[in-house]
Amino acid sequence: MAAKMQIKKDGQPGAADFRWDDIRVLLAVMRAGSLKGAGERLGVNASTVGRRLETLEAAWGLHLFDRTSDGVLPTAALERLLPAATGLEHAAETLAANVHGFEREPEGRVRITAPPGVAQFLVAPELPRLLRKWPRLQIEIDASIGYADMNRREADLALRAVRPSRGDLVAQRLATAGSDVLASPRLVRRLGGEPLGDAAEIDWIDWGPELAHLHGARWLAQQVEPEAIVLRTNDISTQVMAARAGLGALVASRVMAKTAGLVMVDLAPALRRSLDAVPRDELWLVGHRAMRQVPRIRVVWEFFTQLAARLPLSDPP
């Protein structure tokens, strides 16, 4: 929004002249704690953020941030202004939601955030079906492990492993699925048709140290020595491609067997019971309450709920 806002203080010198985009820059710097981080949020470089911030400080005649070697820190002046700035942000978001509410047909951009594996193996293969039905949609996917802040409208819809506990959001559980051992058909044939009784009999693909807390990684750590792990990576597509090539087996949601070109490894009863004891994974669809009935958001929401029923994604009760 390029329109300018005039803020005048009657009886006081130094009237400020700024744009709403200036407030977006100010809030982005405040939240990121650095010019570089703010630029990443806004899709511009750090020098552009710095120039915009200097222009705003000059227009207001205020020093808003202290620059340090570790980033930027808000001054007392900014802390006094921050409630009003966030109030402007909320008002702009409310206005945008109301304007979007006049949309008559599903069209325009829908921003979706999802874990990489869900985005690659569940969402992406189904997009042709969605866009054949609603060709005026444009889908934007943020496939990342970190969560977008839905309350700050960093995404329109989210697919998450955990139901949100705060914010004006609505959520629907799409799936509840246990973990399984997945591998290439070639590796399964090497087992000679016999159930896998000892996890140490085969090689394994596992998560890196940053994701060693995941349920499947913790189960695998109890089953095999570290030497049995032939590949560690936090990239799910690398895991799947290595497993397809026959490098080893991996532990993942059994939904992956339907979408990643892998097959489930038959497990002996004792090993099966230990894996079934691992907590089940959940998949939640999350959106903003105010945007839920906007046509483009509504049809994508319905698309995901129908997809969950069609595949199906959940284990049998």
Spell out where the chain has E strands: 4-7, 16-19, 65-68, 71-74, 108-114, 137-143, 157-160, 169-177, 179-183, 204-206, 229-232, 250-253, 263-264, 281-288
Structural domain boundaries in the chain: 4-100, 108-177+281-310, 179-276
Residue 6: is its pLDDT beyond 60?
A: no
CATH topology of domain 179-276: D-Maltodextrin-Binding Protein; domain 2 (3.40.190)
CATH code for the structural domain at 108-177+281-310 = 3.40.190.10
CA–CA distance, 42 with 259 (Å, rounded to integer): 34
Ranking 160-169, 186-195, 254-263, 307-316 by mean pLDDT, the lowest is: 307-316
Q: What architecture is domain 4-100?
A: Orthogonal Bundle (1.10)
Contact present, 183 and 263 (Cβ < 8 Å): yes
Residue 265: is its pLDDT beyond 80?
A: yes
Percent of all residues in the chain with a pLDDT value above 70, rounded to a whole number? 90
Average pLDDT taken over every residue of the chain: 86
Q: Do domains 108-177+281-310 and 179-276 have the same CATH topology?
A: yes
pTM of the predicted model as reported, rounded to 2 decimal places: 0.64
